[in-house]
Amino acid sequence: MTFSFLPAGTSLCVLGVESSCDETGVALYDTGRGLLAHALHSQIALHAQYGGVVPELASRDHIRRVVPLLRQTLADAQTSLASVDAIAYTQGPGLAGALLVGCAFAEGLAAALDKPVLPIHHLEGHLLSPLLASDPPEFPFVALLVSGGHTQLIAVEGVGRYRLLGETLDDAAGEAFDKTAKLLGLPYPGGAALSRLAEAGRPDVYHFPRPMLHSGDFNFSFAGLKTAVLTRVRQATDPEDPAFRADVALAFQTALTEVLVKKAFAALKHTRQKQLVVAGGVGANRALRAALDHEAQKRDCRVYYPALEFCTDNGAMIAFAGALRLAAGFSPKSAGAFSARPRWPLQELMPD
């Protein structure tokens, strides 16, 4: 990624802080040298015993982790806070208490250092994250955002210029993975575990519905798919049977993947784009990647993925989104008054 807006020889160093859900992430991105360092703490083990994220525990853990993660990031980058030019943080959407920790930390630090801040939309972080790669896509492109909380198809025209093409009307893709995994007795968050279980499944033993496949728009619905799995599990003579569980996992993953792939390529056709960017935790799913790549080859299109470590929540994508916003001419704000935005539609980022 080149930052040609800056005079030759100068660069800006952006500190990024992510705390919207159950991962605390801190990173340093330099417009001249790229990603200098990033550190992450996942709360999966903390929440696993409850079968899902407990918001109050999440907030408290972010408080505990964020300073050590900052120290680690600075040490790994072999630099100090003096080199930071601006601080980007996730302002929303997400869990209110969890967001507040990152907002307060970033704003407080920026006030102490007398540096400006860049409040970042979490989904913007995800959908720009594939641009962190060494061979990034170019604007414009279509983004398929598939995370635990969102499933959206977005036309990305440039930094801060996003047009929502369609989204899920009920459960997000990751949520459907997690709920189905729970039904199959897998620990939270079940997405990755379910996809591993599916590897042992036999194709075409079960067939689940492909919701809204022919709806003619770019919206999704995954709640019915989860219910279909529940009905199948209830009818089973031995729901614990490993072969049965693997076959169900594969049939679920195949159904969900087929809908995502069909709609993503319909969105490419609709917008006359050739580049699809996949972002969010479900983008780590191997079967989804294989199906998207297969379809792309047939249609002379290309699919871009963030590196696996940047698919799920992380601080690097927030620092990077902050740097890209600066590069695109968006002004940072001065540190001080702030608010978290637990509900924040991505479309609100569009300039008037």
Using the rule CB under 6 A, is 315 a contact of ligand KG4?
no
DSSP state of 239: T
Bridge-based pairing of strands 302-304 and 275-279 is parallel
Selected binder of ligand KG4 within 119, 137, 189, 211 (CB under 6 A): 189
Using the rule CB under 6 A, is 21 a contact of ligand KG4?
yes
Residue 34 in contact with residue 13, Cβ under 8 Å?
A: no
* DSSP for 7-74, written as a single string: PTT---EEEEEE-SSSEEEEEEEETTTEEEEEEEEE-HHHHHTTTS--HHHHHHHHHHHHHHHHHHHH
* Stretch of residues binding Zn ion (CB under 5 A), selected from 53-61, 67-75, 144-152, 287-295: 144-152
Q: Binding to ligand KG4 (CB under 6 A): which residues in 114-173?
A: 147-149
Using the rule CB under 6 A, is 191 a contact of ligand KG4?
yes
Residue 304 in contact with residue 144, Cβ under 8 Å?
A: no
Bridge partners, 37 (sequence order)? 28
Q: From ligand KG4, Zn ion, none, which one binds at residue 315 (CB under 5 to 8 Å depending on kind)?
A: none
Q: From ligand KG4, Zn ion, none, which one binds at residue 151 (CB under 5 to 8 Å depending on kind)?
A: none
Q: From Zn ion, ligand KG4, none, which one binds at residue 156 (CB under 5 to 8 Å depending on kind)?
A: none
Picking from 153, 131, 128, the residue whose alpha carbon sits closest to that of residue 143 is 153
- Smallest distance from Zn ion to CB 123, Å: 7
Residue 18 in contact with residue 25, Cβ under 8 Å?
A: yes
Selected binder of Zn ion within 313, 314, 323, 338 (CB under 5 A): 313
CA distance 266 to 212: 13
* Stretch of residues binding ligand KG4 (CB under 6 A), selected from 102-110, 159-167, 174-182, 240-248: 174-182
Using the rule CB under 5 A, is 147 a contact of Zn ion?
yes
Using the rule CB under 6 A, is 73 a contact of ligand KG4?
no
Q: Binding to ligand KG4 (CB under 6 A): which residues in 225-284?
A: 280-282, 284
CA distance 18 to 147: 15
- Smallest distance from ligand KG4 to CB 331, Å: 27
Which CB sits closer to Zn ion, 147 or 180? 147
- Smallest distance from Zn ion to CB 297, Å: 28
Maximum pairwise Cα distance, the chain: 69
* Stretch of residues binding Zn ion (CB under 5 A), selected from 51-59, 224-232, 257-265, 306-314: 306-314
* Stretch of residues binding Zn ion (CB under 5 A), selected from 65-73, 284-292, 310-318, 320-328: 310-318
SS3 232: helix
CA distance 229 to 272: 36
CA distance 165 to 267: 7
Q: From ligand KG4, Zn ion, none, which one binds at residue 197 (CB under 5 to 8 Å depending on kind)?
A: none
Using the rule CB under 6 A, is 102 a contact of ligand KG4?
no
Q: From ligand KG4, Zn ion, none, which one binds at residue 195 (CB under 5 to 8 Å depending on kind)?
A: ligand KG4
CA distance 74 to 51: 34
Using the rule CB under 5 A, is 178 a contact of Zn ion?
no
Using the rule CB under 5 A, is 61 a contact of Zn ion?
no
| Burial (CB count <10 Å: 0-12, 13-18, 19+), residue 114 | exposed
Which CB sits closer to ligand KG4, 97 or 332? 97
**Helical residues (DSSP H) of the chain, grouped into ranges:** 44-48, 55-76, 96-113, 122-128, 173-183, 191-198, 223-235, 242-271, 286-299, 316-327
Using the rule CB under 5 A, is 91 a contact of Zn ion?
no
Residue ranges that bind Zn ion, judged by CB under 5 A: 147, 313
Residue ranges that bind ligand KG4, judged by CB under 6 A: 21, 147-149, 174, 177-178, 189-192, 195, 280-282, 284-285, 312-313
